[in-house]
Amino acid sequence: MTVAAGWTPDQPIIRIVDVHKSFGTNAVLKGVTFDVAKGEVVCVIGPSGSGKSTLLRCINALVPIDKGSIKVEGREVHDPALDKLELRKKVGMVFQSYNLFPHKTALDNVMMAPLHVLKRGKDEVEAQARQLIKKVRLEGKEAAYPGELSGGQQQRVAIARSLAMNPDIMLFDEVTAALDPETVKEVLLTIRELAEDGMTCMLVTHEMGFAREVGDHIYFTDRGVIVEHGPPESFFKSASDPRTRQFLSQIL
């Protein structure tokens, strides 16, 4: 995606302003506003049903918003004239349930989008895909089908699959929620390395320890609004809002 005229990398890469979204009569987002800077790692936490996943889906236009504005690299995501495919080429997304393509091997899963969406050459795509599989520490699993991999391995293939599009932003939607504790670590390690490489990451997560360690900024959402936010140290030590404190006391 060519960035919008006037946008420079020192401005927020994601700018969310007063976003509202309802499903029928159920208001999920009720005026959410925040910015994400390039290279920043933002963690969104909060009880289930507080609109975290919906917010992520709004950023790559999987879900349309009712009111407000979301700008990615200066482009209004919900402008009807926007080419959604161009946006999605630059915004990778990883899901809770991995959603790998079960009829394709790990390598093919990683190669499919660059081959068919970006129309890049096969040799180049395969070389990059093998490198990415190595990066997520799954060397030797290239020919395995998703059903032959553990949850943690599948999730790392899913991360590699998103990275193969060379995105500017990665969205992670509770990517460790469906995993058993041993495999959570390997996925978090992969995300941490991504963050250290300077990838802009937005995570919806319940891994408080990870959010504290890797996050640059924590947002706590409840019932469709951001209740409290701040850098991890102050957020976890001295949350002022009673709802945040209650939530943290249950989790930590």
Partner 1 sequence: MRRYQGDASCAGPAEPAPPAGESGYTAANFTPRALAIVLGVFCVVVLAGEALAQMRSGGPSRSIVATLVAWTPLILFGPPREFGGFALNIAVSFLAMAIGTVAGLFLGIGQISLSPAVRKVSWAITQFFRNSPWLVLLFFVMLLTPFQIKIAGYTIPLPAWLKATFGLSLPVMANFAEIVRGSINSIPTSQWESAESLAFTRMQTIWRIILPQCVKRMTPPWMNWYAILTMATPLISIVGVNDAMTLTQDALAAEQRSELLMPMYGLLLVFFFVYCYPIARWTIYLERKFAVRS
What is the binding site for partner 1 (CB under 8 A)? 60, 62, 85-86, 88-89, 91-93, 95, 97, 99-103, 112-113, 116-117, 145-151, 154, 158, 161-162, 165, 180, 183
Instruction: For residue 173, list its beta bridge partners.
Output: 204
Q: How far is the CB of 240 from partner 1 (least distance, A)?
A: 36
Q: Closest approach of Cβ 159 to partner 1, in Å?
A: 12
Q: Are 172 and 204 in contact (CB under 8 A)?
A: yes
Nearer to partner 1, 18 or 148 (CB): 148
Closest distance between partner 1 and the C-beta of residue 180, in Å? 8
* Shortest Å, Cβ 201 to partner 1: 15
Cα 53 to Cα 205: distance, rounded to the nearest angstrom:
10
Toward partner 1, which CB reaches closer, 69 or 97?
97
Question: With respect to partner 1, which residue has the nearer C-beta, 98 or 235?
Answer: 98
Query: Is 152 or 232 the residue whose CB approaches partner 1 more closely?
Result: 152
Task: Look up residue 150 and give its two tokens.
Answer: 């553990």
* Residues 182, 64: Cα–Cα separation, whole Å: 36
C-beta of 153 vs 244, nearer to partner 1: 153
* Minimum distance, C-beta of residue 148 to partner 1, in the bound complex (Å): 4
Q: Which stretches of 33-150 are DSSP H helices?
A: 52-59, 84-90, 106-116, 122-135
Residues near 215 by beta carbon (within 8 Å), at least 6 away in sequence: 41, 42, 43, 203, 232
**Residue type, position 40, single letter:** E
Beta bridge partners of 86: none
- CB of residue 57 to partner 1, shortest distance in Å: 8
- Nearest to partner 1 of 158, 227 (CB atom): 158
CA 48 to CA 165: how far, in whole Å?
Answer: 30
